[in-house]
A and B are shown apart, each in its own frame.
Chain A
Amino acid sequence: MKVCIEYQALAPIIILLGAGVLSVLIEALIPPTLRRTIQLMLVFPSIVLAFAYVVINATTQLAGDPIANGGQLKGMRELAAGGAVAIDGPGMVVQGIILLISFVSALLLAERQIDPQGDAFAARSSTLPGSEDERQFTAQGWLQTEVWPLYLFCVGGMLLFPVSNDFLTMFVALEVFSLPLYLIASMARRRRLLSQEAALKYFILGAFSSAFFLFGAALIYAATSSVNFSIVAGAMENSSQDGLIIPGIGLIAVGLLFKVGAVPFHQWVPDVYQGSPTPLTAFMSAATKVAAFGALLRVFYVAFGGMRWDWRPMMWVVAVLSMVIGSLLAVTQTDMKRMLAFSSVAHTGFILLGIISTSANGLSSTLFYLLAYGFTSVGVFAIVGLVRDASGESTHLSQWAGLGKKSPLLASIFALFLLALAGIPLTSGFTGKFAVFTSAVDGGATPLVLVAVVASAIAAFFYARVIVLMFFTEPPVDGPSVVLPSAFTTVAVGTSAAATLLLGIAPQPVLDLVINAGLFIR
C-alpha cells in the first residue's frame, strides 16, 4: 500500500509541531534578552496560520471527495496519513476551538505586567524553591522562555488528539500534549512547592491513566486485530469476544475520562488547577477539556458507537457522579481556584450528557458546549490571576469580598462568567446546557437531565454566593487589589466576555456551524 501524506489536511498540526521545533532552536541559539520577543513572534503567527488552515480546510471542497458527506458543510472530509488521522467536520470544529482558546491563553501566558517580578513562571524552574539561586535569578529578571516550545508542542498534540483515527495515534497525541502540561504545571513563580506538588500528582496520575488507555487499546486489538476506529467498529459488530471488548472499552474510557476530569477520575483536578500557574490553569481547564472531549466523542461515536448499549450504563454513572459530586464539593470550597476546579468537574458531567446521546444532536450540542465553556473558562481564570496582593494571587474566597466596589468593571465581567457557568439565560452557558440537555432528553436520558437540573441548581448557589460576596459585602481592610494588566490580558478577557455574551444572545451562526459540521467519517 502506498502511503501518502495529505499535507494540507495535516497542515494545522504540522505548523504547530514545526513551530515547536523552531522554538526549541530559538532557546538554544538566541541570547536570553531577545528570546521572549522572538518566541512571541513565532507563537502567535503560527497559531493564526494553523487556524487559517483549519478554516481553509473547512471551506474548500476537495475534488472528487470520495467519502460520503454526512452534513451540508462544504469542506474536507478525508482520512489522512494512511487512515491514521481523520479530518472531518466535527474534527475541524474541535481543532478550531482549540486554536481559538490557545490564542487567547497564549495572551495570558505572555502577560508580564501583573506580577512585578515578571511573568507567571519561575525565573529558573530548576532552582530550589526558597534558595539563594532563586532569589538571584528573580532579582536579575530572568524569564523561563522554555514555556513557549512546551506550549507549542502541547497545542500541536491537542490538535492531533481529536482527529486521531486509531488508538495508537491517539495515544501518541495524548502523550505529546500531556507531557508539556505536566512540565508547565510545575513552573509557577509563586507558591512553587504547591506548583511542583501539583505537577507531580498530575504526572503520576496522568501516567497511570495513559497506561490504562494503552492497556485498553491492547485488549481491543486482541479482540478485533486492529487499532483503527472504523475497522474496530466493524469487527465489534460480529465479534463474540465480549470478555476482551468490554474491559477494553472500560479501560480506554478511564484514560479519556481522566483527561476530562470526570468523577471518579477527578482527584487531580482541584490540586492541579490550584497549584499550576494561573494562565496555564486557564488554558488547561479549557483546551485540555475540549481536546479530550473531542477524542472521547470520536472514540465513543465511531469506534464504540455500535456498543452503546454496553457502555451507556457506565457513562450514566460517571455523568451522574460528576455532576452531583462536582457541584456538592464546589459548595464547600474556600479557595477560588479549587471551587472553579470542582465546577469544571460538574461541567464535565453536563458535557457527558452529549456523549451519552450518541446522535447528531448530541454531537453538535457537545461541540457548542465545548466552545462556550472554553471561552468562559479561560476568562474566569484570567480574572482570578488579576486579583492579587503583595504575596501573589489572592485566591481565598474571603479576599474577594467587596471587589465589586473597588473594581466594578472587573467584578461585573467576572459575574458574567459565573452566570454563564451557572447556565443563566442570555449567556453562552445557558445555550450550551440547553442544547446538551435537549439532545439527552431526545436520546432517552430524561432521568439524567433531571439530575443535571438539580446539579445546576446546586451550582447556581455557589456561583451566586461569589457574586454576593463581591457586590454585597464590605471589602476587608488589607484586601487584595486588582492589578491593571497589559493589553495581552485585557484582550483575552475582552474576547472571552464578548464570546460569552454573543453565544448567549445570538448563537444561531455558531449553532449552524456545529449542526452543519455533520458526522464523523469512518
Chain B
Amino acid sequence: MLLTTLMLIPLVGAIVVFLLPTEKASLAKQVALGFALATLVGSVFMLLGLDNSIGGLQHLESHDWIPAFGISWTLGVTGISASLIVMSAILVPVAIVAGWWDVKDSSQGTVKGYFSLILLLEVFIVGVFSANDLFLFYVFFEAILFPIYFLIGRFGGPQRAYAAMKFLLYSLVGGFFMLAALIGLYVVSSRQLGQGTFDFQTLTTLNIDPGTQKMLFLGFFFAFAVKAPMVPFHTWLPDAAAEATPGTSTLLVGVLDKIGTFAMLHFLLPIFPEASKFYAPAIIVLAVISIFYGALVAIGQSDVMRLIAFTSISHFGFIVLGIFVMTSQGLSGSSFYMVNHGFSTGALFLVMGYLVSRRGSKRIADFGGVQKVAPILAGVFLISGLSGLALPGMSSFISEFLVLAGSYAVNPTATIIATFGIVLAAVYILWLYQRMMTGIPSQEVEEAVTEISMRELIAVVPLLAIMIVLGFVPQVALNVINPAVEQVQMYVGVTDPEAAVTSEGSGS
C-alpha cells in the first residue's frame, strides 16, 4: 500500500488546495509545500525500504481493476523507478518554493489552481513510474498530459496557448500509437495465455514472434521517443519549456521527459528483447544525432529557456545511447543520468527563471555582467551549468562517463562521435555564461538584477548539494540502481562483452 499512499498524499493535497476558500487562498503555497514535503518524506521512506539485493519489483501491490480486460492496479518499483520517484519528489517542493511568486491570480487561472495542478502532476508522476500494469501505465502516461497542459496553457508566457496545444497534440499522437501497440500486445497475450493480461511481469514471459515484436516495439517506441524527446520528434519541447513558468519547465524537462526513457528501459527492453536488439543500431544512430543536433541548436539559440531545452535534447541522446547499447555500464549510466539530469536541468531552469523574472526578458543579449551585480546568483548558475556540461566532480560526469564507457565496448564509432558532444556541451554552457554573466553590466541589468534572495537560495541549494555529493559518492545511487539493471539485462538476455571496461560498482 506504500506506493498507493504515496499517490494519495499529493492527491489529497491537490484537492485541499483546490478547495481552499477564496479568503484563505493565500495559504495555497504553504499547504501545497506541506503536502509536497510529506510526499518527499514518504518517497525517501520508500527508497530506504528497498532491498538492494533484489533486482525485481518491490513494494508490489496488485488489485483487480477491470478483470474483463486483464487490467489490474499493479504498482511496484525497482531501484531505477524508486530513484526517479525520489528525484521527482525532491523537484516538486523545489519548484514550489522557487515559483513562490511566479504566478498571480488572473482571468486565466488562480494561484491555488497552479499549486493544485502541480500536486496533481505529482500524483501521476508517482503513478507512471510505479505502474507495472501496462494499461495502468498508459492511463497515467496520458493523464499526466492534463495537469501539464493546463500548467503551460494557463500560467505561461505570451505564446503559451500555442505551446500547450503543440505539446498536447504531439503527446496525444504518440499516445495513440502506443494504444495501438498496447492492443496488439493484449491480443498476443490473450492468444498465448488464454486470458489477456497487461501485467508487466507476465508479459515478460511471453514468447512473441520477432515479426510481431518489431511492429509492437515501433508503436511503443514512437510514443516514448516523442515523450523523451528524441530528434526528430522533439520540436514541442523548446516551445513548451520556453513558454511555461520556470517551475513547470523544471518538472516538464526534469521529470516528465524521463518517462519516455524510463519506459524504454523498464518496459521495452524486457518485453521485446528481440526487437530491441534488432532496432538498437538504428536507435543508436538517432541518439547520436540527438546529441549533436541538440547541442548545435542550443549553441545557436538567442532565448535562454530554449537553449536549456535544447541541451536537454542532447542529454536525452546520451541516455538513449546508454539504454540501447544494453551493457551494464551503459544501462546504469543511463539510469543514473536520468536522476542527475533532473537535478542539473532543474537547477538551470530555476536559476534562469530567477534571472528572467528580474530582467523581464528571456533574450541572452539582454543580459551581461550579472556576476558583478549578483555574484552569488552567477555562482549558482555556474555550478548548475558545470553540472550540465558534466564536469568531473559533478554527478553528471559519472553518469556520462558510464554511458560512454558502456557503449564503447559495443559500438566504438558511435561512442567516439558522441564524445565530441561533450565538447559542444562545454561550448554552449561556457559561452552562455560568458555572454550573460561576464562583461560590464548594462544600465538595465544594473537596475533590474538584484542578488538572489534567501527563498530562492533555499530552493536551489539542495539541488546543488545533491549534484556535488552524488559526484563524489555515486555509489549511494548506483547501489540502488545496479540490481535493477542486472534484472533488465537478464530479461533481454544480454551479457557484457568481455573487453568492457569495468568500473567499480557496475556489478558485472
Contact = CB atoms under 8 A, between A and B. Distances in A.
Contact of B187 (A426, A442, A474, A511): A442
B348 to A, nearest CB: 28
Interface-central residue, B65, B67, B183, B196, by most chain A CB under 10 Å: B183
Interface in A60-100: none
Interface string B377-413: 0000000000000000000000000000000000000
A425 interface: yes
A474 B106 CA distance: 12
Interface in A430-468: 431, 434-435, 437-438, 441-442, 446, 449-450, 453-454, 456-457, 460-461, 464, 468
Contact of A508 (B66, B154, B183, B186): B66
A308 B367 CA distance: 71
A7 interface: no
B69 A438 contact: yes
Nearest to B179: A453
B357 interface: no
B153 A468 contact: yes
Interface string A460-482: 11001000100111100000000
Given A441-B187, A449-B180, A457 B173 contact: yes
Given A425-B139, A425-B142, A450 B69 contact: no
Contacts of A468: 153, 161, 164-165
Contacts of A379: none
Given A442-B190, A472-B154, A508-B66, A464 B172 contact: yes
A438 B186 contact: yes
Interface in B169-185: 169, 172-173, 176-177, 179-180, 183-184
Given A468-B165, A508-B66, A508-B67, A425 B138 contact: yes
A424 interface: yes
A182 B161 CA distance: 43
B107 interface: yes
Contacts of B138: 425
A277 B100 CA distance: 51
B161 to A, nearest CB: 5
A515 interface: yes
B180 A450 contact: yes
B454 interface: no
Contacts of A310: none
B146 to A, nearest CB: 9
A507 B107 CA distance: 37
A242 interface: no
Nearest to B174: A457
A424 B142 contact: yes
A213 to B, nearest CB: 34
B66 A507 contact: yes
A434 B180 contact: no
Contact of B176 (A431, A454, A507): A454
Contacts of B186: 438
Interface string A400-430: 0000010000000000000000001110000
A6 interface: no
A133 interface: no
A175 B138 CA distance: 45
Contacts of B142: 424-425
A456 B68 CA distance: 23
A68 B450 CA distance: 84
Given A435-B69, A438-B69, A461-B169, A426 B143 contact: yes
Contacts of A460: 169, 172, 176
Interface in A201-248: none
A422 to B, nearest CB: 8
Interface string B64-98: 01111100000000000000000000000000000
A243 B383 CA distance: 81
B364 interface: no
Q: Residue among B139, B176, B196 with the most chain A CB within 10 A? A: B176
B443 interface: no
A201 B49 CA distance: 69
A424 B139 CA distance: 9
B8 interface: no
A258 B138 CA distance: 36
A509 B177 CA distance: 28
Contacts of B67: 508
A207 B169 CA distance: 42
Interface string B95-129: 00000000000011000000000000000000000
Interface string B181-209: 00110110010000010000000000000
B54 interface: no
Contacts of A454: 176
Contacts of A446: 184
B68 A515 contact: yes
A103 to B, nearest CB: 26
B53 to A, nearest CB: 36
B69 A434 contact: yes
Contacts of B172: 457, 460, 464
Contacts of A508: 65-68
Contacts of A457: 172-173, 176
B20 interface: no
Contacts of A431: 66
B168 interface: yes
Contacts of A453: 176-177, 179-180
Interface in B142-162: 142-143, 153-154, 161
A449 B107 CA distance: 42
**Most chain A C-beta atoms within 10 Å of own C-beta, residue among B142, B172, B177, B196:** B172
B94 to A, nearest CB: 28
A438 B176 contact: no
Contacts of B183: 434, 437-438, 441, 449
Given A456-B176, A472-B108, A511 B66 contact: yes
Contacts of A425: 138-139, 142-143
Nearest to A472: B161
Contacts of A426: 139, 143
A102 to B, nearest CB: 27
Contacts of A507: 66, 68
A147 to B, nearest CB: 40
Contacts of A515: 68
B179 to A, nearest CB: 6
A354 B43 CA distance: 44
Contacts of B179: 434, 437, 453, 456
A507 B139 CA distance: 15
Nearest to A511: B68
Nearest to A424: B142
Given A453-B180, A456-B179, A468-B164, 9 more contacts: A431-B66, A434-B69, A434-B179, A438-B69, A472-B153, A472-B154, A507-B66, A507-B68, A515-B68
24 contacts: A424-B142, A425-B142, A425-B143, A437-B179, A437-B180, A438-B183, A438-B186, A441-B183, A442-B187, A446-B184, A449-B180, A453-B177, A453-B179, A456-B179, A457-B176, A460-B169, A460-B176, A464-B168, A464-B172, A468-B165, A472-B154, A472-B161, A508-B66, A512-B68
Closest 6 CB pairs of A and B: A511-B68, A453-B180, A425-B139, A457-B176, A441-B187, A453-B176
